[in-house]
Homo-oligomer: A and B are copies of this chain.
Amino acid sequence: MSFASNCLVAQSGGPTSAINSSLSGVIEAALNNPKINTVYGAVNGIKGVLNEEVLNLNDIFSDSENIRTLRTTPSMFLGSCRYKLPTVEANENEYKIIFDFFKKYSIKYFFYIGGNDSMDTVAKLNKYAIDNSYEMQIIGIPKTIDNDLVHTDHTPGFGSAAKFVATSVLEMTHDTFCYNIPSVVIVEIMGRNAGWLTAAAALARNEYSDAPDLIYLPEIPFCTEKFIQDIKNVQKTKKNVVVAVSEGIRDEEGNYISATTAPNDSFGHAQLSGTGKSLESLIKSHMDCKIRSVELNILQRSASHISSLTDITEAALVGQKAVEVATNGVSGKMIAMKRINNAPYEVEFVTVDVSEVANKEKAIPREWINEEGNHVNQQLIDYMKPLIQGEVDITFKNGLPNYLPITHLTKRNQ
């Protein structure tokens, strides 16, 4: 069977500052593509398909000003979900509901913007479509601040988070050096298993400051004795120590270094918090100096006002590419970026099999981390620097960033 040509787009997983830019790319390309009639948006990811919560995006984005504002609006305009689609064997009914939805709304193209869990959903739906001879194209659009997707040079959303992290570490460096007393500032950064975002703190180094002096990544087993000795070593030559640490650091046995443990989320990921606070207590019990821990928390994935222009631009292009390949008959692929050149920086947009991306994580190569395992090497800096270049042009209203209203999310229960 065959559907007429409407398209559906949805967002899933954790927010980034660039995921709405990818959405803008999809909408813009779809509105201009003669093969597509109506652009629908499912609210709260695949859950919105299951619950038939859907927006007509042609109406909302007939004003091109809204597309421009969407590009720099934080979080997910369509809302998100953290829902792992069951296997067909476990619950085929959900697949039937989803494909009935596709049929009802004449969806021929489905774009799912998300991380490796979302790519699992894309892979499952694509296989189901093929197995049941549904003629439609399903394309994954990558996003994650964690930069841990395989088969892509980097992920949309990472550059903006990295720019926020590096900017914040630079600003906190100015803050901490204002007192001429021994101090340690620990900055806790997101990243469960991959240390990319934590490593981005290294971009704050400049000609007048070595901060962050130490960087601890989940890729390297964490040793508390070495950690304390590292700090003491730095304090031999300078009073103010700045440490970047991933929320996901673990000891040699694989136990998380965090003060609190919470139940796993629905994907079986451990929910972490308190790594910085835990290390703060550790240092307090071993050293006599001012200690502070700062958890960048959800700011690092939502501070759109300091987004990377490179990131926001690439995110939109990835969305546009998805529409291009889907309408050319491609399905079951994720759009990826391939770095052609580093100086000048240049990427091209390619497709990779979504099944090769789903449920996998890319860690930092060992050779990009220093031998001691407490900082990064120049290769990592060279890789990351292009990704934070350029600033977005945010408009302000009443002194605050003018973001696209999300009334459909904020007012729906009232």
Contact = CB atoms under 8 A, between A and B. Distances in A.
Interface in A192-223: 203-204, 206-211
A41 B293 CA distance: 31
A388 to B, nearest CB: 4
A411 B208 contact: yes
A407 B210 CA distance: 11
A175 B298 contact: yes
B80 A179 contact: yes
Interface stretch (A160-168, A327-335, A362-370, A372-380): A160-168
Interface stretch (A28-36, A56-64, A87-95, A300-308): A300-308
A299 B406 contact: no
A8 interface: no
A2 B267 CA distance: 75
Interface in A133-176: 163, 166-168, 170-176
Contact of A166 (B174, B210, B292, B399): B399
Contacts of A173: 410
Contacts of A81: 179-180
A239 B302 contact: no
A389 interface: yes
Interface residues of A, number: 74
B180 A44 contact: yes
Interface core residue of A43, A166, A177, A211 (most chain B CB under 10 Å) = A177
Interface string A305-341: 1101000000000000000000000000000000000
A410 B208 contact: yes
Contacts of A171: 74-75, 299, 302-305, 401, 403
A191 interface: no
Interface string A43-87: 110010000000000000000000000000111100111100000
A398 interface: yes
Given A305-B171, A400-B170, A406 B177 contact: yes
A409 B167 contact: no
A179 B410 contact: no
A400 B162 CA distance: 10
A123 B83 CA distance: 63
Nearest to A405: B208
A297 interface: yes
Q: Which 3 A-B pairs have the closest CB atoms?
A: A388-B399, A75-B174, A208-B405
14 contacts: A75-B175, A163-B400, A168-B299, A170-B400, A171-B403, A172-B298, A175-B302, A203-B400, A207-B407, A208-B410, A292-B298, A299-B299, A306-B306, A388-B399
